Every structure is written in C-alpha cells, then in structure tokens.
Amino acid sequence: WPDRCDGLVSVYIPDTTLVIVRDPLNPTIKSRFWYLYCSLTPRGEKALIPNRKGISRVAWTRNSPAWNFTNADLDPALKSFVDPDYVFIVRHVYQDRLIYAPGDPDYAEVEKLLLLQPTISVPTVTLEATADDNFPGTNGSSTE
C-alpha cells in the first residue's frame, strides 16, 4: 500500500500507537492520560455511563485549555454521546489502540505491517497541538 501514497499528513499522538505501548512515555506525560481509566477498567466504564457530560467537559478543557467554550458549544456535541453504543465504541477504540481488545480483522494484515514501523518515503507533515499540554512538541524525528 505505500506505493499508493503521494504524501502523508499525520497527527502526533504517540501514546495511542501499538509500538509506543511497548515503549512507555515518561510518568509526567503518562499521568495526563486519565481518560484511559474510563476505557480500560470496569469502574471507569461505570463512571462514564452516567456522567458523559462531566467527563466530556473535563476532556474538552484538558485538550483545549485556551478555548473558553460554553455549554452552548458543548451541548450539540453531547448529542452523539447519548447514543446507546457510545460507551462501548469509545472504550473499544482505546482498548484496541492499547492492545486490550481485538481490532477489525479486515485490517489485521495492515496492522502487522504498521508494527514494523516502515520508513515513510513520501513528503510528510505532522500536525502537533501546542495548547493541550498532553505532549511536548518535537521536531518530528523518531529519535527525539
């Protein structure tokens, strides 16, 4: 499949890749991933089910600290959170990323290839958030 790509635009999210799971981040950065508790534990699931708005508000505040959003901004997004499958889907996404649940079998072969960390040989741009404080900025190299 790499031969079908002319370029790549990616988002820097190191802790949600299968490779990083084997090579954890430092404790200061790791402590910012409180939401994984909701994804990986039964107790977190029980917290997520009745308090979607509260948890969503915390996530929005944490990930966009410079955005002074209001309930009028948050409420339309919450409509998707009342879907009966919301909790299952959100939990499964994180469980799959962290190898605690199986992914889609249709993509198993692609995941195996990605685990090899193939060289990216096309022009590439990596987008990084600067305000969320979850990940410090990098120069985009794999050695930093």
Q: How confident is the model at residue 106 (pLDDT cuts 50, 70, 90)?
A: very high
Average pLDDT, the chain: 77
Are 132 and 18 in contact by the 8 Å Cβ rule? The answer is: no
**Taking 60 as the threshold, does the pLDDT of residue 111 lie above it?**
yes
The residues spanned by each domain of the chain are: 2-127
> pTM for the whole thing?
0.66
Phi/psi of residue 17, each to 5°? -105, 155
Of 20-24, 51-55, 94-98, the poorest mean pLDDT is in 20-24
User: 2-127 belongs to which homologous superfamily?
Assistant: Alpha/Beta hydrolase fold, catalytic domain (3.40.50.1820)
**Taking 50 as the threshold, does the pLDDT of residue 38 lie above it?**
yes
CA 86 – CA 49 distance, rounded (Å) = 9
**Taking 70 as the threshold, does the pLDDT of residue 19 lie above it?**
no
